[in-house]
Amino acid sequence: MFPACRFSLRARRCVGALKAIQAEHVTPQLYSTRSSSSTVPRITTHYTVYPRDKDPRWEGVEMERFADEADVVIVGGGPAGLSAAIRLKQLANQHEKELRVCVVEKASQIGAHTLSGACLEPTALSELIPDWKERGAPLNTPVTEDKFSILTEKYRIPVPILPGLPMNNHGNYLVRLGHFVRWLGEQAEELGVELYPGYAAAEVLFHEDGSVKGIATNDVGIAKDGSPKDVFERGMELHAKVTMFGEGCHGHLAKQLYKQFNLRENCEPQTYAIGLKELWVIDEKKWRPGRTEHSVGWPLNRNTYGGSFLYHLNEGEPLVALGFVVGLDYTNPYLSPFREFQRWKHHPSIMSTLEGGNRIAYGARALNEGGFQSIPKLTFPGGMLIGCSPGFMNVPKIKGTHTAMKSGMLAAENAFSKITDENLQSETAGLYIPEYEEAFKKSWIWKELYSVRNIRPSFHNYFGLYGGMVYTGIFYWIFRGKEPWTLKHIGLDSAQLKPAKDCTPIKYPKPDGKISFDLLSSVALSGTNHEHDQPPHLTLKDDSVPVAQNLAIYDGPEQRFCPAGVYEYVPLETSDGMRLQINAQNCVHCKTCDIKDPSQNINWVVPEGSGGPAYNGL
């Protein structure tokens, strides 16, 4: 049943694409129907905020969902999810067992929502697919040179990269991670994994005993005002003995699971950063395939965590991947990560590489920075958390793909043992597999994250960046993270903004259209597209909060921390105030708004499947 629905969805996508071409630029609309306050324009129309069972427009609409069964359902077709799927089928083939493994992915194609630097450490890949070179894995650029520097406004101060420091990338590869993920998908399909791109997992399903039963994909054919269209179709249910959640950073289903099973009871809150990235074709004379360049310092001040990367790729043309990362625990509501990125490119040491080049792609994504201290409980009845969803990124290395892949492999190995145990007597309908967490704590992931656990929180000191670098030099390079203490993070990123009245506005230079660019032309390079006539998937718990709190206290920071121009404050039609306008079509699915919103009023949920960016090897 599940595959049969693919064709109706594809047909609807084609119709939606034609409509998008006919109405290439549609002015976003807001609805002024009744809400909690008669003077507040209605913004949110999503059924997660306004239940359909109380909406007369939904009376008589068929709400039954078809269901399908699998042994394992994996949410998210990224490095972790695909590694888990591959390992499961490897074990099934090795032991001659029948095992149905299904992967659902919200992007239209495997890899289309994937964004990373990326400098790949091949440890987990070599464990999973030892003959990856012979199989044509797109690891085309071995690192040949590392450069690290501290930037001032006009100068670059080189910093030596000693053996053993996190920025030493000897043996690693520069990759376009979306292409690598697509290749992993091909390996999975060869083994018999069922891949379903274009299906967004919208809901966690539970058995009567409280264990996870599986997931439901999102409904389609809902109008922007929340009413059913003539083509409305209910999502599908996928049931499984075990469901693995590998949604990536700040997954919206994982958020529900944290609360449902109290998974964050014994860990610190997760902390995050936003990473912005561009691909450029540069002058071949400036191209140095295999070179990595990292920097800290300007344009950020010493108390704002962040840094940059510039990688020279060997992909048949003089390509460089460059990006800028800003920790989302910054305090000034006037800071714009996107504009900091654009300003950074004008540094003499960066601009000299880019001059005469051509920007061909742009994207952005949040990333986990909490590390060891923020790892939640990974297992619960019927399910497991894998990859960047719980957050296994090695922050000083700026690498998380290898740890994500390994976590998926560990989850697969322990799930396979339980699923194929003919004598197993489970206490719950959904299998509970605590062995995965035990294996994780014995793995090299745990040791690696433990050794660097204090580097990120060490930046929270009077000297900021420089104090953190000194700490890293002493306690990581000399003692390898064996100090007998563990530093704490400062709390939720959403709680760190200061009121606008206490901060100095930041004046950013205008983009020149050659090195730096405006936001909307950047979003256009991401290939982002959503069906216009659907409820905004950026939902608000209370439509009055943005103006009453975020704008009044913080001068509307969502206008600046969003890297896609989704949020705008515009004058009311009556000209006696402001309202928030949500341009949901622009959303690149970075999740930054859900993380950084100081009122924690924004809840990111999945749009219709296939919506979002269409990254080509970011």
Does position 41 have pLDDT exceeding 90, yes or no?
A: no
Fold of 515-604: Alpha-Beta Plaits (3.30.70)
Comparing CA positions, the residue from 340, 318, 319, 343 lying closest to residue 330 is 340
Q: What digits encode the pLDDT tens for the residues 123-158?
A: 999 999 999 999 999 999 999 999 999 999 999 999
List 141, 526, 562, 579, catalytic entry: 562
List 271, 590, 592, 610, catalytic entry: 590
- Is residue 14 annotated as a catalytic residue, yes or no? no
Three-state DSSP string of 552-589: HHHCCCHHHHCCCCCEEEEECCCCCCEEEEECHHHCCC
Residue 167's pLDDT band (cuts 50, 70, 90): confident
Q: What digits encode the pLDDT tens for the residues 336-392?
A: 999 999 999 999 999 999 999 999 999 999 999 999 999 999 999 999 999 999 999
List 295, 522, 593, 610, catalytic entry: 593
Rounded mean pLDDT, 598-614:
96
Return phi, psi of residue 207, to 5°.
-75, 170
- Is residue 365 annotated as a catalytic residue, yes or no? yes
- Is residue 267 annotated as a catalytic residue, yes or no? no
Rounded mean pLDDT, 300-313:
96
Domain boundaries, the chain: 66-139+175-268+374-453, 515-604
Comparing CA positions, the residue from 72, 77, 65, 88 lying closest to residue 2 is 65
- Is residue 401 annotated as a catalytic residue, yes or no? yes
- Say how far apart CA 304 and CA 407 lie, in whole Å: 31
The neighbour count for residue 293, using CB atoms within 10 Å, is 21
Q: What pLDDT sits at residue 39?
A: 67
- Is residue 135 annotated as a catalytic residue, yes or no? no
| Percent of the chain topping pLDDT 70 | 94
List 116, 141, 217, 403, catalytic entry: 116
Residue 7's pLDDT band (cuts 50, 70, 90): very low
- Is residue 156 annotated as a catalytic residue, yes or no? no
**Mean pLDDT for the chain overall:** 92
Q: What pLDDT sits at residue 1?
A: 42
Indicate if the alpha-carbon torsion angle 117, 196, 81, 491 is positive or negative: positive
List 141, 149, 587, 592, catalytic entry: 587
List 401, 458, 528, 539, catalytic entry: 401
- Is residue 388 annotated as a catalytic residue, yes or no? no
Residue 539's pLDDT band (cuts 50, 70, 90): very high
List 365, 456, 560, 579, catalytic entry: 365
The neighbour count for residue 483, using CB atoms within 10 Å, is 14
Does position 26 have pLDDT exceeding 50, yes or no?
A: no
Angle at 76 between CA 454 and CA 341, to 5 degrees: 55
Pick the CATH number of 66-139+175-268+374-453 from 3.50.50.60, 3.90.1150.10, 3.40.109.10, 3.40.50.150: 3.50.50.60
Pair 77, 177: CB distance under 8 Å? no
Does position 186 have pLDDT exceeding 90, yes or no?
A: yes
